[in-house]
Chain A
Amino acid sequence: MATFFDQVSEMGLKQATITKADEIVERLTAGMNISDIRGAFRGDEPRRPNPRLRPHSDGFWMHIRPSFYHTEVTHIYPTFRLGWLSTFMFVWETITGIILMIFYTPSPTVAYSNMWNILSNVPLGQLFRNMHRLGAEVMVLAVALHMLRTYITGSYKKPRQFTWATGVILLTLTALLSFSGYLLPWDQLAYWALTVFLSGAEAAPAPEQFNANVLLVLQGAPSLGAAGLLRWYLFHVLLLPMLLAIFFFVHYYKVVLYGISLPPGREEIGEDTAKRVPRDERTYFIPEVFTNEMMWTALVTLFLTAGALWLWDAPLETIADANVKPLHVVAPWYLSWSQGWLKLADKTIVVGFIPVLLIAFIFYPYIEVRKSRRYADRRPELTLAFLFIAFMLISNWMGSPEYRVQSSPELEISGEIMPEEGPSVLKGVPYDELEPGTYFPGQVVPGRPHLTRALALFEETVERRACTSDGSQPNLDPCEVLGVDSWGNNFTRNALPDPYIEFRIEQAQENMVKFTLFFESIHPETGDIFIQTETHDYRHEDAFYEEECRFFNKNC
């Protein structure tokens, strides 16, 4: 074969360089030269033999992908691109996760300060952390919706039962991945969420000794500490991603093997024509599907980047402290249903029910074997699906802060507008509006709009959680006597009767104020002071809460 120098002497430098470049591109793409690529994206007809099929037969990456799809499955419906989105999110999480890994040590003594280092010392550190955490939420959502879509279009039916089974496992792994990442910042949110989760392991319907050993494996010590953090870190970065990758490839291999199922109405009942695609129904991967996927990659990247920068901020509470239990421990939203279930049944039953449910999901397509995928023929299945969705939504709501076990009403008011953690209604007021003095819920403070707004929200909170026994506070609902020392109003069965509430701001240091919420309640029957409580918090000038409040996921 002629060397490059021979070619130069033969056809001149320019032509020889072009020929060489063409050759290199053809090798890299396993079959397409420069003009083939340009032709493909210009929309030209391919030459014969079709070079656009060769990357699929000769190249490693493309051999995973089919060379063409049935045109019916390349539109938004029926797939909604959810399987693709789930895969994309896994790649996204891997990339952002590896970047975060560089700045993280899984040890309780440094993990939390690592978080602040990422936020305050690593260029674009906050953005990457937000991208990773926002990505985790989107991934859970994408995988769950993907499963829902598969169910609704009946795509789990023969021959795709095994694909469905691996999908259920992938959903479980996704939730576990997201949850295992929860612990790593080693803040209060992380620590208590995992503590509650682990207490579930203790309550599993199995011999006590077995549960104790499972717990020991999960936290590495009798209590959650250094060993537990290291284990959950390794679960998060090693074990779970590895399992997920294995099941993903099995899952995707089956998807390619059986093809993506057509919309239910497009084929005869009992037939599966996904792999028998007539020539005029083919949409080739190169260039159409590839272009489409690139466009979605760009759009989702844009959405996640902008979202992580402006819309959504990963929470970071104060450092984990086994001695300070927060007022309420709330599971992440995608596990909130489990907290809801705890209100319906005993913990042991709930913990035992979850694996039963998963097994039921896995074996469902082997049990429900009716042939038709058409919606009209599947009314019972679709009804079941929507009942299940309704059940999960209600369970989620029951596990949400709205439905949690209440402490005393004054602590609930304080916890709502001045929680121990993070920015809040009162802490989100800019520092220069926090003049020392005594303020009242609903007070209008001229020239200080943020403080006025916070006090208005304060009043709303009080109105929901307090009542008046003699009508002397007309903005409150009348008290309904529910029992000994127990009153309700139109919103809650846990209301504070006839309250007197103050919000005091004192100068604690030159650049820091101290907040005091003072609650006094007169007993409607005896007339004695029934409750007299103060809660405190501190607000430093530079603590940044007001800017954190601009994100949509912050409670200000």
Chain B
Amino acid sequence: MQVKIVIGTIAFMLTMVILGYAALVEPARLEHFSEAAVARQIETGAEIYKNNCASCHGVEAAAQQCFSPSGEQIACQGLPLKNQRLVCGDRPERLDDMGWVGSKRDFVYVTVAAGRGRIMPTWSTDFGGALRNDQVENVTLYILNFEGEEFCSEPPAPNYEWPDTGNANADYEEFTAEWAAGDPDRGAELYNVNYGCAGCHGGDDSDASWAGTGPWLGAIQDNAPLRNPDLTTEAYIYESILWPSRFLVTGYTDGVMPQDFPNRMGLDPDVTPQDMQDIIAFLMSR
């Protein structure tokens, strides 16, 4: 019996030592697990992004490579999310642009949950979307996780500065002098796929009876002089893409045409403005 008392006492003391050890390392473990919890949410978020968001915001969240469910490349309807102006710092520019007074996390969360503007749909089941709120949270954490030291310390890429003096003819002259002549075939691709213009303005199979969200552009060479006789057709297209509010076709509402083409087409100042030349060349060739 004495042996049993000794064994029991030793076992009890060992248990206490183990519990003491567990208690000592507990604060570090809790911190570790908090990080792990977020890390696993981000992993889940990446999966959700791939399945739900990448078709508009691009596979690398740069709004560059968007694919339809069947695997064809399509226009990226969304904005780039791997974007210093959205994810870097406590108060990125995007919040001010949108007049958002809350936190960055809340901005992204609310945007995903409740949608934004005309194209971004609502995603939370609270608003009729497809994702549970924990999934919205996961995808939010994934997007905010683009804020990396390396990415955010890169100097922000300056956008191309579009000539803009208010005189579109002169502005277009200045612009076109700087860039190579447009390639209508590439322009067709950009119009139909990359920028998705065809969705609102009609594609190759549309005709004058087009009743889409935007005016039909199939006969823009004939229509442009009638609408704004002061401008050349090219200058008219140039102005209408970059600053759509400056001239409205009768019967169409201001603000429907996205206002972010100066940014999208000027994203890489050495490359992307050529898209403008190509699209104009395509429209002029129709």
The interface size of chain B toward A, counting residues with CB under 8 Å, comes to: 42
Segment among B18-26, B171-179, B230-238, B275-283 that sits at the interface with chain A: B18-26
Whether A81 sits at the interface, judged by CB under 8 Å, is no
- Whole-angstrom distance between the Cβ of A112 and the nearest chain B Cβ: 7
- Given contact pairs A287-B1, A302-B18, A540-B42, A511 touches B35 in the complex (Cβ within 8 A): no
Decide if B11 touches A113 in the complex (CB within 8 Å). Answer: no
- Convert B1-43 into 0s and 1s, putting 1 for each residue whose CB lies closer than 8 angstroms to a CB of A: 1101101110110110011001100100110111111111011
Bound-complex Cα distance A302 to B12 (A): 7
Bound-complex Cα distance A116 to B278 (A): 53
Bound-complex Cα distance A309 to B134 (A): 29
Bound-complex Cα distance A345 to B11 (A): 48
- Given contact pairs A318-B44, A514-B46, A298 touches B35 in the complex (Cβ within 8 A): no
Segment among A65-73, A91-99, A122-130, A172-180 that sits at the interface with chain B: A122-130
- Convert A522-556 into 0s and 1s, putting 1 for each residue whose CB lies closer than 8 angstroms to a CB of B: 00000000000000111111111001000000000
Interface set, chain A 174-193, CB cutoff 8 A to B: none
Residues of B within 8 A of A113 (CB): 134
Whether A383 sits at the interface, judged by CB under 8 Å, is no
Centre residue among A301, A319, A541, A543 by max chain B CB count within 10 A:
A543
Residues of B within 8 A of A543 (CB): 36, 39-40, 43
Decide if A512 touches B15 in the complex (CB within 8 Å). Answer: no
Bound-complex Cα distance A123 to B22 (A): 10
Whether A461 sits at the interface, judged by CB under 8 Å, is no
Determine the main DSSP class of B at the interface with A.
Answer: helix
Decide if B18 touches A538 in the complex (CB within 8 Å). Answer: no
Whether A41 sits at the interface, judged by CB under 8 Å, is yes
Decide if A295 touches B30 in the complex (CB within 8 Å). Answer: no
- Using C-beta atoms within 8 Å of the partner chain, give the interface range for chain A: 35 or more
Whether B261 sits at the interface, judged by CB under 8 Å, is no
Decide if A291 touches B30 in the complex (CB within 8 Å). Answer: no
Decide if A508 touches B46 in the complex (CB within 8 Å). Answer: yes
Interface set, chain A 317-373, CB cutoff 8 A to B: 318-319
Residues of A within 8 A of B150 (CB): 510
Whether B146 sits at the interface, judged by CB under 8 Å, is yes
Whether A269 sits at the interface, judged by CB under 8 Å, is no
Centre residue among B15, B23, B50 by max chain A CB count within 10 A:
B15
Q: Sorted from nearest, which 5 A-B pairs have the closest CB atoms?
A: A510-B148, A544-B36, A295-B8, A120-B33, A540-B39
Residues of B that sit less than 8 Å from A by CB: 1-2, 4-5, 7-9, 11-12, 14-15, 18-19, 22-23, 26, 29-30, 32-40, 42-44, 46-47, 50, 133-134, 142, 145-146, 148-151
Q: List 24 A-B contacts (CB under 8 A).
A: A109-B133, A112-B134, A113-B134, A119-B33, A120-B30, A124-B19, A287-B1, A291-B5, A295-B5, A295-B8, A298-B7, A298-B8, A298-B9, A299-B11, A301-B12, A305-B19, A510-B150, A514-B46, A538-B47, A540-B40, A542-B35, A543-B39, A544-B35, A544-B40
